Amino acid sequence: MRASVFVGTSLDGFIARRNGDFDFLPEGGGEPHGYDEFMASVDVLVIGRNTFEKVLTFEEWPYADKRVVVLSSRAIDASNVRGAAIEHMSGSPAVITDRLAASGASHAYVDGGITVQRFLRARLIQRLIVTRVPVLIGEGIPLFGSLPHDVRLRHIHTKTYPSGLVKSEYEVLG
């Protein structure tokens, strides 16, 4: 099983403001920059509790009927989500990855600040797709965090969009 990250950040590297808002990102995800195509390529989403609880406040569940795994050491309440396949798992990224592979998953979309950082630290992300929004917000929740050692990347390609989005895709070499 492989795992990818597809995320938008401010130019200074934040995925959200301190309070979890991402009003600095273009509304509705901005001009199309490959999110739908990426979503179509994954068979499971892996998100943390914070992202899950944020998404619950949206008017609509944004993941349609895609399989979603919520990571949390505590129980989660998914009773308000109808029509979606939500599972709860806990454990290390290695344990989660093994369980997903055993369940037949072939491509996971790992999302959310803490979750992305945990999987990157465990070297269990193979692909990073980062879209930079042309704004500096000064502080917030960073995409990247501390690492036990450098992580080398291979640049695959970069695409720019008229609204100023710059999307770069990297293979994680480890």
Phi then psi for residue 45, to 5 deg, are: -105, 140
Q: How far is the CB of 23 from a second copy (least distance, A)?
A: 10
Interface residues with a second copy (CB under 8 A) are: 11-13, 24, 120, 128, 130, 132, 134-139, 143-155, 157-158, 160, 164-166, 168, 170
Q: How far is the CB of 173 from a second copy (least distance, A)?
A: 9
Indicate the residue among 66 and 123 with the shorter CB distance to a second copy. Answer: 123
Helix pair angle (49-56, 113-121), 10° resolution: 150
- Dihedral over Cα of 53, 79, 90, 153: its sign: negative
Those residues with Cβ within 8 angstroms of residue 98's Cβ, 6 or more apart along the chain or in another chain: none
Indicate the residue among 80 and 146 with the shorter CB distance to a second copy. Answer: 146
The SS3 assignment for 45 reads strand
Q: How far is the CB of 87 from a second copy (least distance, A)?
A: 29
Indicate the residue among 104 and 148 with the shorter CB distance to a second copy. Answer: 148
